[in-house]
Amino acid sequence: MRQGNMPLWIGVFFIAVVAIPTIISFFYTPFDPVVMEIDVRLQPPSSAHWFGTDQYGRDLFSRIMVGGQTSLTISALAVGTGMLIGGTLGAFSGYYGKRTDELLMRIAEAFHSFPSILLALLAVTILGPGQRTVLAAIAIANIPVFMKITRASFMQQSKFEYVLAAQALGASDWRIITRHILPNSVRVILVQASASFAGALLAEASLSYLGLGVQPPQPSWGRMLREVQSIGDMAPWTVIFPGIAIALIVLGFNLMADGMRIKGK
């Protein structure tokens, strides 16, 4: 393994540590994550409950497993939507330029000037709290990010000789974009997608913590931290384990993005 790839592989390992139990939770969890058992409330980690239980006697390990479904699904859909819409607009803007480029970039800058939390509050006002609200807010916040990075890559690639040669041979714009420019821009877009995924996970957890995202009884990491904030001193495991899950997955995607940048140099 090359030294330059260490961040990539460490990031993949951190992601796997969190993602694998989440995938397993679609088929199996040790306990029902929403069933309350008051007689075992606030039990510390043990062989029966690996991560302990919360104030309602719910198994924390099962809730963290299922909570990952929400966080990873929302983040994947939001980043995917932002990449698809923003990437398409950015490619169009970077390849054709001129007035189209000017108009699209002004729109992107207008959206980019609003913090994602304000977009989320606007979405809550229109749609009400819930998963769709969080997904829409994070997706909208990612559109201008992918617009700018795709535009920059397309503008750079469109000046290279292989693109000019394809134009001279009469190749259509569609063929030039899909067969020549896009394959050479994919790495940059994927690096941004990895970094945006980390940001989306953190944003989803933050919005759920504020009560704008996933609603009870459906577990999510941010919501779990909100529910136990008053008992963290007497039952620290209720805070530590959801916090570790968030930290590992966010750090993992950031490290993977760094590793992909290093590998691409």
Residue 179 lies in a domain: yes
Residue 35 lies in a domain: no
**Please, what is the average pLDDT of the chain?**
84
Q: pLDDT band for position 1 (50/70/90)?
A: very low
Residue 180 lies in a domain: yes
Query: pTM, whole model, 2 decimals?
Result: 0.84
Residue 142 lies in a domain: yes
Residue 31 lies in a domain: no
Q: pLDDT band for position 3 (50/70/90)?
A: low
Running DSSP on this structure, what letter comes out for residue 30?
S
Per-residue pLDDT reduced to its tens digit, 4-54:
588 888 999 999 999 999 999 999 999 988 888 888 888 889 888 899 988
Radius of gyration, alpha carbons of the chain: 22
**Domain count across the chain:** 1
Dihedral angle over CA of 203, 87, 248, 69, nearest 10: 70
Residue for token pair 């805070």: 239
Percent share of the chain, pLDDT over 70: 95
Per-residue pLDDT reduced to its tens digit, 179-238:
878 888 888 888 889 888 988 888 888 888 887 777 777 888 888 888 888 888 888 999
Residue 20 lies in a domain: no
Read out DSSP for 158-217? TTSHHHHHHHHTT--HHHHIIIIIHHHHHHHHHHHHHHHHHHHHHHHHHHHHTTSSPPTT
The parent domain of residue 140 ranges over 8-15+58-264
Running DSSP on this structure, what letter comes out for residue 23?
H
Residue 25 lies in a domain: no
CATH number of the domain encompassing residue 255: 1.10.3720.10
Residue 44 lies in a domain: no
